[in-house]
Structure 1
Amino acid sequence: MSDQPSPSQPSEDVLEIGAPEQFAALAHPLRQRLLFALGHRPAAANALAAQLGAKKGTVAHHLKVLREAGLVRVAETRPVRGGTELYYQRTARRMLVTEPRAEGTAAMFAAVAQELDLSPVEHVLSLRHLRLSPAKARELGETLARLVDEAEDEDEDEAAAEAEASAQEEVEGRPVHGVLVALYQQPSAADPSDPA
């Protein structure tokens, strides 16, 4: 029997980020990485610390910040020698930042950069600039979002089917891959909103 908790569903499918404490919580790369790590199953602070190469006390502090911001919750508790171990999970499967802020975006990119540096295999990272009409840009954005959603849904469907077939060890042994998708319009030289 595994000592890890079984996957459980977050209480919401999508959480819209809008509160000041949520933006503040997202403005640190380690908190971003904790949210990445909690994407599929609940985990305890000591396991997260080992996975992310951080100190347990540091992880516990950042989990507290995420919990106070409503981004993670305690999924279950387990008695351990001398206390209780808390298993955390995200409060939502997906988190949507409708009005991104620079500090949260910078923290997310820093978190992704840290993960890329630790990746044991070659990764794909590409930045290209395309001239697109507004309609073509919208179509590309929708296509990228659909591809990521389909890959995530297939992963969850396979994991559920294999869990039902008692092959949970095979699911847990699969490597987790990060996917970063960004489509943005560069400001033109004459753009009055350009902070230059």
Structure 2
Amino acid sequence: MPADDLPETLHVTTDEQLRAVSNLTRHRIMALLRFEPATITQIAAQVGLAKGSSSYHVRLLERAGLVKVVRTRKVRGVTERYYAMAARAIVLPDPGAGQPDVLMRQAVADLEAAPVDGERHVRMAHLRLTGEQFAELGVRLQALADEYRELSDPLLPDVSLAFALFHPAPREQAEGGSK
């Protein structure tokens, strides 16, 4: 299936899907497959896994409907399967109160695993915005991410972009209720 035939988004709605994307190894496999299909052998080599482990994780992602076989070919009597993402974008549900944000945890884990001497731009800004400004900034950040996603070229090195725009917990709540 050519990338042009992929649905734009797939919303994670089941517990099986959420468990599948909550694992950092499977998250990295999905990141690898977002630009081009790959075989179990290619996935194992690029993610740094044994082929058996790679196969296990891909099977879980496939069972959850997050990746799928997009083509096959015969190599020395064995059918080689090429896997790709089931959609251009995977949309995770917002975490419930007190639950971890899977996407942000994975982004932090990826950042921590990135080469320390590599180029990176990591910033945090504390802002005071009206409701309208808050909404406008969210729309602009999403539009910017979408613009650069359209420019993505599978022949170029991977770049990860993670952003979170949110209202932090009130100071009393963040400090465990004490002042």
> What's the TM-score, normalizing by structure 1?
0.77
* Aligned equivalents of 2:89, 2:10: Cα separation in 1: 6
- Aligned partner letter, 1:149: D
> What is the CA-CA distance between 1:41 and the residue it aligns to?
1.0
Unaligned runs of 5+ in 1: 1-5, 160-170
Aligned to 2:65: 70
1:45·1:59 contact (CA, 8 Å) conserved in 2? yes
> What is the CA-CA distance between 1:81 and the residue it aligns to?
2.4
> What is the CA-CA distance between 1:99 and the residue it aligns to?
2.3
Unaligned runs of 5+ in 2: none
Match for residue 110 of structure 2 among 101, 109, 112: 112
Q: Deviations over 1:24-74 (max 9, x none)?
A: 001110111111111111111111111122222111111011011110001
* 3-state secondary structure, aligned to 2:22: coil
After TM superposition, the structure 1 = structure 2 runs for residues 33-52 of structure 1, keeping only pairs within 5 Å, are 33-52=28-47
Paired-residue identity, %? 29
Q: Deviations over 1:135-183 (max 9, x none)?
A: 211111111100010111233xxx5xxxxxxxxxxx62x2221111221
RMSD: 2.5
2:107·2:162 contact (CA, 8 Å) conserved in 1? no
* Aligned equivalents of 2:4, 2:26: Cα separation in 1: 20
1:14·1:94 contact (CA, 8 Å) conserved in 2? yes
* 3-state secondary structure, aligned to 1:43: coil
Answering whether residue 32 of structure 2 is matched by residue 32 of structure 1, we say: no
> What is the CA-CA distance between 1:7 and the residue it aligns to?
5.3
1:27·1:103 contact (CA, 8 Å) conserved in 2? no
Give the number of aligned pairs: 173
Structure 1 stretch displaced more, 77-86 or 30-39: 77-86
> What is the CA-CA distance between 1:112 and the residue it aligns to?
1.9
> Residues 120, 90 of structure 1: CA spacing in aligned structure 2 closer, same or farther, 3 A cutoff?
farther
Structure 1 stretch displaced more, 122-131 or 104-113: 104-113
After TM superposition, the structure 1 = structure 2 runs for residues 119-158 of structure 1, keeping only pairs within 5 Å, are 121-155=118-152
Answering whether residue 97 of structure 2 is matched by residue 102 of structure 1, we say: no
Q: Deviations over 1:89-143 (max 9, x none)?
A: 01000111132352623652354235524x7731112222222222211111111
Answering whether residue 1 of structure 2 is matched by residue 19 of structure 1, we say: no
* 3-state secondary structure, aligned to 1:26: helix
